[in-house]
Structure 1
Amino acid sequence: MQMHHLKFRVGLRTVKTGISVMVLVIIFLVLHRGNPMIACLSAVFSLRNDFETTIQFGESRVLANAIGGTFAMIYSLALMQFHHADWVQVIILPLLMMMVIVVNDGINNNRGIIGASAAFLMISFTIPSDGDYWYAIARVIDTFIGTAVAIIMNIGVHPIKFDEPLKKDVQQLHEHIIEEVEHKSHY
């Protein structure tokens, strides 16, 4: 690996992500809501470069989390019904995981499969031993809160659209700069 190709930068999306996490931590502390992990992850998954894309990802994320949370509630009910027997985790959990994927695919929410799977697994594996399906509902609400904060972070942020000739000029300039840097690095 050549070190001169590494680029470290702090862009606007990175800053908005950090601020989103900070806002969520504050909200959860003020409301005594507990662990903000799921809300923060939801914000990170949903937050994009601009408002429109964040809305699209946010909608997919909310739908995916509702699906993942619903199946986590079913898992929670199965755990309670069978007194937290290990076989529920070994057999029911993987079957429900497959159902999360099938439902998202069936409703054409393919971009939400990873988020739904993550929500399902995070909720399922963090259900307290004395917890019930209300725990899963609370975590789904956490995802809504995280997505809402991500959307708010991008209100008024729209992508800059270049016309094709300018885009081509910028690409050619970029290629020229790369060639110059590579040429100079050989000496």
Structure 2
Amino acid sequence: MKNFKLPKIGLRNLKTALAVSLCMFIFEFFHRQDSFYACIAAVVCMKDTVSNSFTMGKNRLIGTFLGGLIGLFVIFASIQIPFLYNITPITTGLGIIFSIYICTLLNKPGSVIICCIVFISIMVNHPSGPGSYIYAVTRCMDTTVGIVVAVVINKFIHPPKEKHKK
């Protein structure tokens, strides 16, 4: 126990906290109630280099938009063909196949996980009606806020040194 030292709080830790707090302030300023997805995006996108933050943000944004679009498409199809509401687990499974396939076609493997998560969140939380459209759009906007906040903070507040590939 004599040699035990607590590690110091690092700069990325502090910048992540700042990014989350700033997301929450932005949402309060615009009288938006739920900053949850923006805060998650800020945490996920705060990386060890600015380029890694940007790459993560780009992948997350692409995946979020694709998952949102696919979710909107499936919701629209379910409205047109009401029988699909009765088999939501099957349409969700098919939507996952389609989500992974689209990301693969677009050569965006880094976007697959978030694409599937966004699609699932739409299908589970808002499987019908106009609320699902609003949810998908706001989910994309909220994620964008978190990504932008994290990348800007990482770039302009004591930016980390870029790692050079050997």
Q: TM-score range by the shorter chain?
A: 0.7 to 0.9
The 3-state SS of whatever aligns with 2:155 is: coil
Corresponding residue number in structure 1 for 2:26: 27
Q: CA deviation at 1:50?
A: 2.1
Q: 1:160 to 1:72 in 2, by over 3 A?
A: closer
Q: 1:86 to 1:11 in 2, by over 3 A?
A: farther
Q: Which aligned pairs between 1:99-110 and structure 2 lie closer than 5 A? A: 99-110=98-109
Pair 1:150-2:146 in alignment:
no
Q: CA deviation at 1:16?
A: 1.6
Q: Which aligned pairs between 1:1-187 and structure 2 lie closer than 5 A? A: 10-81=9-80, 82=82, 85-87=85-87, 89-127=88-126, 131-156=131-156, 157-159=159-161
Deviations 1:83-116 (A, max 9, x none): 88341x2111111111111111221111111122
Please tell me the root mean square deviation across aligned C-alpha atoms, in Å: 2.9
Given that 1:73 and 1:137 are in contact with CA atoms closer than 8 Å, whether structure 2 keeps it comes out as: no
Q: CA deviation at 1:137?
A: 1.3
Deviations 1:95-146 (A, max 9, x none): 1111111111221111111122222222332328651323211211111111
Corresponding residue number in structure 2 for 1:172: none
Q: 1:9 to 1:108 in 2, by over 3 A?
A: farther
| Relative contact order higher in (CA < 8 Å, ≥ 6 apart) | 2
5+ residue gaps, structure 1:
165-187
Q: CA deviation at 1:70?
A: 0.7
Structure 1 Cα separation of the partners of residues 119 and 13 of structure 2: 26
Whose radius of gyration is greater, 1 or 2? 1
Counterpart residue identity of residue 58, structure 2: E
Q: CA deviation at 1:13?
A: 1.8
Q: 1:84 to 1:97 in 2, by over 3 A?
A: same
Counterpart residue identity of residue 138, structure 1: T
